[in-house]
Amino acid sequence: MSDQGSELELTVVVPEELLRALAERIAALVHNRDQTIGQPQSPWLDAAAAAAYIDVSRNQLYKLTAANAIPLHRKRHGQGLRFRREELDGWLEAEYETTGWTPTVELSSSADR
């Protein structure tokens, strides 16, 4: 610690599962952002982008669409599939239950030592 100021130290205990889930979600968001830099972001996603957005394989996405388990839009006279980001966000909210997890935070200060 320097003599000119005081340092504060914060220790946060986070379960490994939560860290992994956060890292995967952040990586997906960064990947999606990097692909659209300089372009206006459309609310519409094709199948590949939708699979990446919800972090599933294209095969799993097609299984979900075949079971009508995920919101999607089909072309009237074609086989094209499109997904809206906001509908996928709503679907994810409904599919994943809140755990009620409360972080354990330990605060300490170098002044306490």
Residue type, 106: E
Cα–Cα distance, 77 to 62 (Å, whole number)? 19
The pLDDT of residue 34 is 62
Q: pTM for this structure? A: 0.53
Residue type, 26: I
Contact status, residue 91 vs residue 70, Cβ threshold 8 Å: yes
Give yes or no for residue 108 having a pLDDT over 70.
no
CB atoms closer than 10 angstroms to residue 72: 19
Contact status, residue 71 vs residue 78, Cβ threshold 8 Å: no
Give yes or no for residue 1 having a pLDDT over 50.
no
Q: Residues in the chain, how many?
A: 113
